[in-house]
Amino acid sequence: MTERELIARLTEKLKGSHVLLRQGIGDDAAVWEWNESEYALFSVDTLHEHWDFDRTYHALRYVAYKAATSAISDICAMNGEPLFLAVSLGLPQGFSAAEVGELYEGFRRVEDKYGAVVVGGDISAARDLWINVAVFGKVERTRVTYRGGASPRELLCVTGDLGGAYAGLKVLQREKAVFLQNPSVQPDVSEYTYIISRQLKPEARCDMVRRLRQLGVQPTSMVDLSDGLAAGLYALAEGSGVGFHVYLDRLPFHEQTEKVAHLFNMPLTTFLLYGGEEYELLFTAPLQAYEALREEPQIHIIGYVREDEQLLLEDPLGQTQEIQLLSWDSYQASRPSEASP
């Protein structure tokens, strides 16, 4: 059973309604009435050692930073602003006070970066280290953005670049394997610093939420790319009842990502479509926003919304193929096939 199937089954057992609730299970964050002009937002994320991070190359402060980033990213996907964090830790036997302090150094960096402050949490014993971060945020009622809302012929856009986090992970895994075989060999990853940072210390795109506001662009639907571009496309398609036409040559990527694809003899599209852990934003916008968006260096128009429900990828020769629903599955702790899509 996949994570999506499990969530669907569990949702059937819940009431799922409240007089104040405007959006429950099924989007990046829950939404409820707060005051006359704003909605409150809530989301939660958990990282588990061995499943979501490897302490061989993940410094504890970066593990904490990443855990908070993944939760804050859900608030960004609702076009909102993070306010408060509640942190729960599962600590294995022998975990020292100094190590806990390093985790909280990471949370302090999150406070400095995003302005969201830690207001409490919980600590318990655990077999392996895990970190749970709940985030509370807010959004103006007129600006809240859901996964549903895209209409045919609208622009399809993505922030930043794609595939870097997965490419960075591939490099780190390779260097770990070399180290385990010969501990005297010191890794040299100087030519991959950008993509490694994408894996170890990803950033939520609160800056893009603010930039869209400055540009006067209101997204009609939006999702974050924690599970990859393909999964994000399917989430928006299901939420809006539409399809998407994506142009392969418009997908943004860093040169280091392409280099890793060649190094591991893997299709670049595997990284761009199915990598995940990006925390970039995928959104749709009205055609009228084209002039405001087309010169933005961190926003890329990669396709358009289709009238039917097909999800198609068009290559530079005009050949199209269906985009498969493959992504990281946190319930099964599995990554998509590395075969060409």
pLDDT band of residue 340 (cuts 50, 70, 90) is very low
Cα(220)–Cα(8) distance, integer angstroms: 25
* Domains by residue range for the chain, with CATH: 13-140 (3.30.1330.10), 155-322 (3.90.650.10)
Cα(64)–Cα(107) distance, integer angstroms: 6
Task: Report helix, strand or coil for 295.
Answer: coil
Cβ contact 278:340 at 8 Å: no
Q: Is 151 left (phi over 0), alpha (psi -120 to 50) or beta?
A: beta
Cα(103)–Cα(93) distance, integer angstroms: 16
Q: Give 302-336 pLDDT, tens digit per residue.
A: 999 999 999 999 999 999 999 998 755 544 445 55
Token pair listed for 207: 């800056």
Strand blocks (E) in 141-262: 155-159, 221-224, 243-247
Tally of CB atoms within 10 A around 162: 31
Q: Give 215-224 pLDDT, tens digit per residue.
A: 999 999 999 9
Q: Give 1-35 pLDDT, tens digit per residue.
A: 666 677 677 777 676 778 898 998 889 999 999 99
Helices and strands (H, E) in the chain, number of each type: 10, 13
pTM of the model: 0.92
Q: Give 230-242 pLDDT, tens digit per residue.
A: 999 999 999 999 9
Q: What is the mean pLDDT of residues 96-106?
A: 97
